[in-house]
Structure 1
Amino acid sequence: MYAAGDYIILEKDGIWQVSELETDTKSGEVLRYILKSPKEPDNTKNIKADSKMLLRKVISKDDLTDILSRIPYIRTIQAPNNKIREELYETAMAAYDELEWIRVIKTAYLRKEEGKQMPFEEKYSRQAKDYFHLEVSVVMDIPFDQVEDYIASAIADDLW
């Protein structure tokens, strides 16, 4: 059950904020959530309360701070070939987990630096960055376009 103001993660649709609850007038049971996009406030959607698309709330500020401090130590995805690597990226993205998003971002970045990045890696990296950066933005209450600098600063602070 979510409350108005909660940020939630939707399967295949990223992060949304609960703006309203539609309830049954007799029982008080929540029937639908009215959601708005944190990036585009005019973009809204209605989701049934029992929808399988509703995955979870975004993580807490403390948990996110812990994850940010662990970024330098998170392992990349290792695979013997591109077909398996793509499957591992897909599995990582389907977990809707911050650590998995970071693994995808780091792996794609390093492979790009080595000149080995495949087109599918750019696609997964963009999606992982969008999800993770938006979560950092809403949890830490910073503008989306400043998230990358915020993460870089958080990592640099931890390494010194």
Structure 2
Amino acid sequence: MHVDRASGLLSGARQCPSPNADARPDGAGIELIVVHGISLPPGAFGGPWIDHLFSNTLDPAAHPYFAAIAGLRVSAHLLIRRDGAPVQYVPFHRRAWHAGVSNWRGRERCNDFSVGIELEGSDDTPYADAQYGALAAAIGALRAAYTIPAAHLAGHSDIAPGRKTDPGPAFDWPRLRTLLGDA
């Protein structure tokens, strides 16, 4: 995988542009990678629902859970499906709306200076082997393109404690750090 700095796009990723993005604040660089977990409906994998959520086309009648979230305006830079296939919603140089109310090392508004990577999964279901490989490759490409230090990696639960739990206890942080060469 490779990140083209000019376009902010990841090679090999399917592009599914989200309207839920905007310019980063002046002077804001990419300093943090945030790992998330998502499944729609909760606990179910596959299907078009994440694409629909991030493109504001989620049909509230398609599943009872969707009625409560259909009006959300959220996005992520990247999703890694269970089979390891990457889907990009927002170019990395733009601000995706993934972190919400957040704080990392005393800095609020993590969306301003972070990249959000969603893994198709849930807090209590082990993530797939292919996802760890694809996540490590994506993080490696991001680190190379934007010079992000190894220590600047967090879970959604780390930047929004008490509000968010993902990627959850099923996520194997030591495994990811070993794949990244950070262990």
- For normalisation by structure 2, the TM-score amounts to 0.27
Q: Which of the two has greater helix per residue? A: 1
Larger radius of gyration: 1
Q: Higher relative contact order at CA 8 Å, sep ≥6: structure 1 or structure 2? A: 2
